[in-house]
Structure formats: C-alpha cells, structure tokens
C-alpha cells in the first residue's frame, strides 16, 4: 500500500531589499535572521513559525 505524503505548507519567498533593491530568495519559515547579501540590512527575523519579513515580497515560489 503506497504511503500518502503531504505537501509542505511553507514555501520559498523572493524578496527585495528596501535599501539597495537587491533581490534574493529566503525560506518562509527561516529560523535565523535573514540579511541582505549586498548591504547587510535585516530583511527577516524568526518568530518560531513563519518569519517576520521586513522587505517587499515579490513572489512566492512553488
């Protein structure tokens, strides 16, 4: 009998840094701070569940 696997609830998110306009991809449930790879600005902080995103979300990736 084949097992039924659930799809993951969380997704990857493409965000844009408000300071330097750099675009990068992060995990929606990040467990550590996410910083811009170019200028170092804080873009998201962990909350124990979904991350609190402080940048503009451009796209939710499947």
**What residue segments make up the domains of the chain, in order of their start?**
12-61
Angle of CA points 38, 61, 27, to nearest 5°: 55
34 or 5: which carries more pLDDT confidence? 34
pTM of whole model > 0.85?
A: no
The pLDDT tens digits for 41-57 are: 999 999 999 999 999 99
For residue 23, which phi and psi values (nearest 5 degrees)? -105, 135
Q: Which CATH superfamily is domain 12-61 in?
A: Ribosomal protein S27 (2.20.25.100)
Q: Which long-range contacts (CB under 8 A, 24 or more apart) does 43-46 make?
A: 43/15, 43/17, 44/15
Question: Is residue 1 scored above 70 in pLDDT?
Answer: no
Q: Look at residues 12, 8, 48, 9 and name the one whose alpha carbon lies nearest to residue 28.
A: 12
With cut-offs at 50, 70 and 90, classify the pLDDT of residue 38.
very high
């Amino acid at each position: 009998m084949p097992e039924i696997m659930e799809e993951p609830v969380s997704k990857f998110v493409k965000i844009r840094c408000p300071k330097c306009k750099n675009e990068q991809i992060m995990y929606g449930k990040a467990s550590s701070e996410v910083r811009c790879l170019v200028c170092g600005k804080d873009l998201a902080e962990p909350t124990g569940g979904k991350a609190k995103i402080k940048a503009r979300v451009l796209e939710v990736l499947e």
